[in-house]
Amino acid sequence: MEKQSQQQPYSREKAIHLYVQALDQGDMEVLAQILDIACDDPELEQIITEINLAYQEQEQLTPIATDAEIIRNLLRQHLHSAFEVIQAEEKPLIFEDIDAEKPVTVGDVVKRLQEINCVPAADKHIISQLINSPVPLPVKLSIKAVRQLAVELSIDASERFLNLFRDTAITLSIGLSHNRAQLAAAREQKKSIQINNRNR
Amino acid sequence: MKRQVRQSVDPFDDYELVQKQQLLSQAVQQEWQAIQNTIQLYLTRAIKLSGGKLGDTETVAKEIFHETVEEAFKMASKFDPNRLARPWLLGIAAKKIQRWQRQQSQQNKRITPIAELPLARKLKQQNSEILSEEEILGILHKSSNSSDPEMLEYLLSLVNDSYREVLKLAFVDGLEGESLAAALGTTKGTAYTKKHRAIAQLRQAYVQCNKSSEEGR
């Protein structure tokens, strides 16, 4: 068993204990305190994510369906600078593993779902089935199209998984096209700077 | 004579702020589904435990998520890029939910009397005065590490069968995380939840037993 630090005995264990208790008691103040500790402890943060997923299943909460575009508009609204042209080497982390020139594949979406720990327990078997799938996403990402894709891929997935798959696919697709635009703009900007320098 | 403090705008501060905002923006882009779903969970727990009715939690969760993002960018200068962004954002959300709860109870013009608070909260208030989390964890670790099987057996006898199994696997067999989840046949999250609910039950039972034996003297 992992030994706790001698200076702060059971500190992580105590934090987990308080977090579970706070969730059981709906105590937002304690939750906020533990989350503050988790900001400096990636392992605790990971455990908290696992606990949240367990509670979500227990409470039978359906993931909230939000169009990824709404999130992008929200960010645009509050942060103009984040959407300014960035240099090619400063690609957002979310797309670092995805080739900007290639279309997003089923494998990319499943990989992302696994990274954010969003695959429902009953659908875990799908990860190994599809993580390397080179099948490109359908052009239109309606829930009907995602269901059709599941049939074509011969996977037995829950409705929750299909919804999560769709949301993630939309996020990745929009993000990637935004990234492509940024890269193109950055290249364009670099080109014009080089031309200006030459003309001087 | 007082020296006048010159208020200058340091371009480096601006650059730093933009960087922090970009980091937060990336975190939101990356994690919005998980953050929004966690807010919905927190909200559901808060409403259930305060005895309220679960109405349209989805809409409220979305509103709180939007407010959280807004607040996060407003106070981006306070964000330390060396810290994790997701719990930082969730911490803001938890405080927003707390504020929302207060507003709701003000609207209802009703203050919940202590007697009506959930039993668990009352017990927590009583227990915290008697036995801290460190103490019960200390007792458990000490009795499982030392050669005191009688104490451990006594502690395990205080909880119900399903919790006894979890405590045995965690403190006698030393299982943790994935290995504990595998032994229980659950996910890691459920295993952690079960283990800590078992510790909470043990803490209550231990306090009760000590209280009864002191009263019997």
Angle at A151 between CA A147 and CA A155, to 5 degrees: 100
Distances A149 to A115, A143, A171, B45 between C-alpha atoms, Å: 22, 10, 18, 36
To test the contact with chain A by mutation, choose from B196, B197, B201 the residue with the greatest count of A C-beta atoms within 10 A, namely B196
Q: Does A87 touch chain B (CB under 8 A)?
A: no
pTM here is 0.61
Does A54 contact B91 at a Cβ distance shorter than 8 Å?
A: no
Q: How many C-beta atoms lie closer than 10 Å to residue B171's C-beta?
A: 22
In the block, residue with structure tokens 């915290």: B128
Long-range contacts (CB closer than 8 Å, 24 or more residues apart) made by B182-185: none
Q: Is this complex's ipTM strictly greater than 0.85?
A: no
CB pairs below 8 Å between A and B: how many?
200
Poorest-pLDDT segment among A49-63, A81-95, B145-159: A81-95
Q: Which of B113, B39, B120 is nearest to A22 (CA)?
A: B120
To test the contact with chain A by mutation, choose from B18, B32, B101, B145 the residue with the greatest count of A C-beta atoms within 10 A, namely B32
Residue B91: list chain A partners with CB under 8 A: 32, 35-36, 39
For B118-131, the pLDDT digits (tens) are 544 554 555 555 67
d(CA A118, CA A124): 10
SS3 A6: coil
Q: Residue B185's closest chain A neighbor by CA?
A: A121
| Secondary structure, 3-state, B81-137 | CCCCHHHHHHHHHHHHHHHHHHHHHHHCCCCCCHHHCCHHHHHHHHHHHHCCHHHHH
d(CA A149, CA A141): 10
Give the per-residue pLDDT at B108.
66
Does A61 contact B47 at a Cβ distance shorter than 8 Å?
A: no
Q: Which two tokens stand for residue A138?
A: 């359908």
Q: Does A74 touch chain B (CB under 8 A)?
A: yes
d(CA A119, CA A107): 14
For B149-168, the pLDDT digits (tens) are 788 888 888 889 889 999 98
